Chains A and B, each alone.
Chain A
Amino acid sequence: MVEANAVGFAFEASAVNAWLVWILPFVAALIVPAVGKFSMRATGWVAIGFAAASALCAATMFSGALEAKEIHDQVNWISTIGIKAGVLADPLAVIMANVVGWISFLIMVYSTGYMKGDKDIVRFWFWMMFFIGSMQLIVLSDNLLMMFFGWEGVGLASYALIGFWYRDKDKDHVGVKGRTVLGLTEYYSPTHSGMKAFIMTKVGDIMMLAGMFLIFAFAGTFGFRELLHDTAWASSMQAQGLLVPAAVLLFGGAIGKSAQFPLNEWLLEAMTGPTAVSALIHAATMVKAGVFLVARLGPLFFALGAAGFLVDDFFMVIAWVGAITALLLATQGMVNSEIKKVLAYSTGSQIGYMMMALGVAGLSHQFVDGYTAGFFHLTSHAMFKASLFMAAGSLLHTVGSRFMTDMGGLRKHMRKTYAFMWAAGLGLMGAPFITTGFWSKDAIFGAVYESGNVWALPLFAIAVLTAVITAFYTTRMIGMVFFGDKSKHIEHMEKEGHHMHEAPLSMWVPYGILAALTIGIGVVGLTAEHGIHELFTEYLGHTFGIEAAHETAEDNGLPPFLAGINPVALIASISAFSIGIGLGYVFYIGRFVDPVKFVNSNIFFYALHKVMLNRWYLNAIVYWCFVVAPLWIARGVWRYFERTVIDTGMNIGLEKAVGWGAKVVQQTQTGITQSYLYVFGAGILFVVLFLFI
């Protein structure tokens, strides 16, 4: 059954499109191994084709979504427990599905160039398609249970792809070989990283599962719309003090999947995967799944709050987790020398922004502002971060090293990559007026500042500080790679005949497109933002009953093309950008001050730098507490308990008992037919007598 909204005229896309968006990639995953038996090259075409088809299906739903309509189609799944499966293509889901779909398509194209010649390419395509299907399943599910299946699917694909180069060659590791922090190594192999990512996100997943089932126990349903329509479950949960804990448990899943504090450490090691994987999974899509979950649940809980339930703590947790993550990871990005790690830190930090915006939205009177800001930043970040990662992949290919200290002076040899990285980098920094990153980050600043919440100012300060650091490390990255003299590593390579050259067409076109989009949408940025704002206002009002508290102020003394923007936020954005890029220029582009001398110039800077480089010791602490200590306990248990009690006592005892039982039964099977018939007759007597009783 397709429920169209009250307006009533049919739109182009039907429910089938919504189902196809997530089913098609799974079909592709099934086909790819079979195709691979005939032709390796054809697998690439299959992957690109299906990714395009899936993205097209998502695109057909776009026009309907712009009019704030939704498609909600369900089928019976397990009718004995009353669970249905369904797709919910409301504006939120449709926009996200398109972001995921089209960026995935571009990255598939990029992968044909990046993974060229790899022997395991069939496995790569299989897991990439499996991932895209699972991600779209998360986006389009209409209930928490189906979404959880997709959630686990992306986790599995992420594990498989992070550990893709499972032979653990030295060049595929991350970290500096031989370096230790608090006595533990920080040099990790692909297989270790895959396991780390899987287990850390699992912690989040278990919390999410607990939250889901808590709600199911009271509500009897997993469906998002069903939970909204009948809120009796919320009253019973609140009466037992379980409403906010369940919500926070659900958010736990988002923390894990989106690499927020305190489950953020896995994202760094995830860089052992091929860069195409990093671009797709750990920049543009999977890590956004947590934000998407919050975006799904946010309006539901805000509506509950408006109806009188006490949900403020939930949003408070979200906002602060986001803020802490944003600042924490940005500081670490300032000092690291591996290019993919800088981008990974940046991703985690930007997601912190999104979480902060969504959390603050729930604490303010004007929910739609923060909601729009957070989601808009999600889409713009997906674009420029994917572009940056893909460009980094080109650099990795050309230079043959993941360390920025091995690069330098590349702007003469890789002009296109240089231009595109500047464009996308400006987006990340929030260069005023011309990049989509500016408009989205400014929207977040505005939403936080105007939220009217008691914590608004501290959060705002953290946001601005993080923006300064973001601009700084981005400029640093571009400076270290493209400016300055050639590194010894490059000189060595050129002596051996490997010259620095631009990336092939299949690689630079995708990130070129995204970089151009960053600027292109930036130019019409404010209109885009207003458009999304209106769309969400209508969507939230219609579906959740969340009305805007006030119209955005039109007259704020600024020129007309900046209508509706908070002036304080605007000034903050522009200043943060200028300070950051200025400092970056001084240190890394103009090279007026030597950064190494600067850091070593006094003990305070030196110590601060060391702490940041050692990941605030958080990674080491996590390993001590959750890896080294449990292993030590496990070894003790094994030595003193398992070998004695279980191995000798229980195992041998059980084995003998069951074996004896089996022998007894076996011995009744004498093989002599007459004895069988005797038993048969005895059986009849027994049954008849029993019936008489």
Chain B
Amino acid sequence: MIEITSTPIILIAILGTIGMALPVISVLRKEKGSNSFYGIIAFAALIVSIGYVAYEIVTNQIPPAAVFSGDVLSNDSFSGLFAIAMLIVAILTTAGSFNFMRGQSHPPVYYSLILLSTIGMVLVAYSTDLVMLFVAWELMSIPTYVLAGFLKKNPSSNEAALKYFLFGAVSSAIIIYGISIVYGLTGTTNIGGVMTGLAQLDPSMMPLALLAVGMFIAGFGFKMGLVPFHMWLPDTYEGAPPTITALLAAGTKKAGFAAALRVIIMGTIALNLDWTLALGVIAVMTMTVGNIAAIMQKNISRMLAYSSIGHAGYILIGLAVAPYTELGIQGTLFHVLNHSVMKGAAFIAIAGIVTTLGVTNIDKLKGLGRKMPIISIGLVVSLLALAGVPPTAGFWSKLILFGAALDTGVPSWAAWLAIAGVLNSALSVAYYGWIIRKMYFEGETEKRIAEPKAIVGVMVFAVIFLVAIGVYPDPIIEFTQNAVPVLGTSLIISK
């Protein structure tokens, strides 16, 4: 077992207690508490958690990327980075929800589900055992199914939740199938044990192992939004409440990457496959489909949903060249962190727009720059960061990702990844620019509307985060360098 005072356990304790306590409190108070009351409790719990993780990282109590121990959970820099990213997203979502939840029913349930889902997300990154991973995966997903359909009377919300749930159920089944094959082959569910087991595999069993890998790619790829497992994504992101879309786009998607990093890469390394080409092809398809589809969209949530698909493609570039260069996973981790904030902030901004103005059509965003200046600035900076414009953080992570594809030692087809990435980034500027144009360059002089304060706070945080890292990226780059060796050393050596 793992120590009782290690980070994941503490996080479970804090968030779990509060998460489960919220509905209890509401029953005790006979549902009289104001909606923000529960939100504030949840927010406080999240701040304490992220404070704890950050403290641990800054005081160097976390070993830089321990490998796969016999424990079920491992506490290392890799998980620390994901924990920070997920907690930031949860905080953004909670803060963005204060305004959204005004007038909605069942606030304690809402916040409690967010907290429980967050535990799941964080634990996915900490898991070193397949069953633990699966449990965490389900813990993460099931609350989000409910949250996606939170607006009970809204048909699109219901549709979103149902499609999400169906896909989620299918992919969970596929993941379990993959786990069971692996267990059958190696006799253990510990990831480290699986690696050694697969490395010593009888070659006649190879097809089964390949099948298992394929299952994993499909199952985790659903959450990540990889093509061709992405079909649910636009409908769900569009229909769900925008704050929950932030959680999905920025949180659960990243958890998918965390799982992918631990499982797929480890497993396929041990099998010594040339799987990188497959990942490369998926990456290019994902990027292209995402960006091309985004161009003609009229609904802003749907457009950003396709944009998320595109970014999943960029992140996958890093994974595709991971065995050949250390920059690969570094870029992936950095982009994961950045994308959480960028997309999260963008969707929270949309939440602000939806709750105050009630519009989701991009044409109706005319003159937003004057109507809601702070939300507009937050949205603009997030969009520019997504496009990869310096001096925002997005520029650096894309630079490292594309640079990794061109680094020494990568196979020649990797150059196509970089080309595709650059062309797609250029293409994405088109639709981001369109939104920015609507906000600032169109519309007559509009009067200023009061913006929800919590969302203003989120916007300020996002702008500071993205621009500060954009100007001085080094601390984060060093952090990702520390987080890589988990996978790095074992990766490159066995190749």
Contacts and interface: CB of A to CB of B under 8 A. Distances in A.
A538 B400 CA distance: 45
Nearest to B282: A687
A542 interface: no
A659 B296 CA distance: 7
Nearest to A691: B210
B218 A687 contact: yes
Nearest to A79: B474
B167 A677 contact: yes
A686 interface: yes
Contacts of B227: 683
Given A688-B211, A692-B207, A692-B210, A676 B231 contact: yes
A76 B474 contact: yes
B289 A665 contact: yes
A662 B222 contact: no
Contact of A687 (B214, B473, B474): B214
Interface in B154-190: 162-163, 166-167, 170-171, 174
Contacts of B474: 76-79
A658 B292 CA distance: 7
Nearest to A677: B170
A125 B348 CA distance: 34
Contacts, number: 86
A673 B166 contact: yes
A691 B292 contact: no
B167 A680 contact: yes
A79 B477 contact: yes
A9 interface: no
Contacts of B472: 77
A78 B473 contact: yes
B466 interface: no
Interface in A643-693: 658-659, 661-663, 665-666, 668-669, 671, 673, 675-677, 679-680, 682-684, 686-688, 690-692
Contacts of A662: 292-293, 295-296
Interface stretch (B17-25, B130-138, B273-281): B273-281
B173 to A, nearest CB: 11
A683 B292 contact: no
A258 B47 CA distance: 52
B400 A666 contact: no
Given A78-B473, A687-B278, A688-B210, A680 B229 contact: yes
Contact of A691 (B167, B213, B478): B213
Interface string B212-251: 0111011001100001110110110000000000000000
Interface string B267-299: 000000101011001100000010011011000
A39 interface: no
Interface string A470-492: 00000000000000000000000
Interface string A317-328: 000000000000
Interface string A141-165: 0000000000000000000000000
Given A77-B474, A79-B474, A671-B235, A684 B215 contact: yes
Interface residues of B, number: 43
Q: Which of A77, A658, A690 is the most central at the interface, judged by chain B CB atoms within 10 Å of its CB?
A: A690
Contact of A684 (B174, B403, B473): B174
B292 to A, nearest CB: 5
A689 B403 CA distance: 30
A80 interface: yes
A152 to B, nearest CB: 13
A680 B235 contact: no
Nearest to A77: B474
A669 B296 contact: no
Contacts of B167: 676-677, 680
Contacts of A680: 167, 170-171, 218, 222, 228-229, 231
Nearest to B174: A684
A663 B296 contact: yes
A661 B228 contact: no
A30 to B, nearest CB: 12
A658 B295 contact: yes
A684 B228 CA distance: 8
Contacts of A661: 292
Interface string A36-77: 000000000000000000000000000000000000000011
Contacts of B232: 673, 676
Given A78-B473, A665-B292, A683 B163 contact: no
B296 A666 contact: yes
B170 A691 contact: no
Given A76-B474, A683-B218, A677 B273 contact: no
Nearest to B162: A673
Contacts of B214: 684, 687-688, 691
Interface in A81-140: none
B293 A80 contact: no
Contacts of A658: 292, 295, 427
A149 B215 CA distance: 51
Contact of B228 (A76, A669, A683): A683
Contacts of B427: 658
B228 A686 contact: yes
A89 B296 CA distance: 55
Given A79-B477, A683-B228, A684-B218, A690 B281 contact: yes
Interface string A558-583: 00000000000000000000000000
Contacts of A675: 231
A676 B293 contact: no
Nearest to B222: A680
B420 to A, nearest CB: 14
A676 B163 contact: yes
B400 A691 contact: no
Contacts of A663: 296
Interface in B383-422: 400, 403
Nearest to A685: B214
Nearest to B227: A683
Contacts of A687: 214, 217-218, 278, 282
Contacts of A691: 210, 213-214, 273, 275, 278
A659 B427 CA distance: 12
Nearest to B206: A692
Contact of A683 (B211, B229, B403): B229
Contacts of B210: 688, 691-692
A665 B292 CA distance: 8
A666 B303 CA distance: 12
A679 B221 CA distance: 13
B66 to A, nearest CB: 24
Contacts of A676: 163, 167, 231-232
Contacts of B235: 669, 671
A159 B103 CA distance: 51
A691 B279 CA distance: 10
A80 B401 CA distance: 12
Contacts of B277: 690
Interface string A262-289: 0000000000000000000000000000
Q: Which of B163, B218, B231, B293 is the most central at the interface, judged by chain A CB atoms within 10 Å of its CB?
A: B231
A680 B164 CA distance: 13
B335 to A, nearest CB: 14
A691 B213 CA distance: 9
Contacts of A665: 289, 292-293
Interface in A336-363: none
A519 to B, nearest CB: 45
Given A78-B473, A691-B275, A692-B207, A673 B213 contact: no
Instruction: Rank and list the top 7 A-B pairs by shortest CB-CB distance, nearest first.
Output: A688-B214, A683-B228, A676-B231, A662-B296, A665-B293, A684-B218, A690-B278
Given A662-B295, A676-B231, A680-B218, 16 more contacts: A77-B472, A658-B295, A659-B296, A669-B293, A673-B162, A673-B163, A676-B167, A679-B228, A679-B231, A680-B229, A683-B228, A684-B218, A687-B214, A690-B277, A691-B273, A692-B210
5 contacts: A78-B474, A662-B293, A677-B167, A684-B214, A691-B273
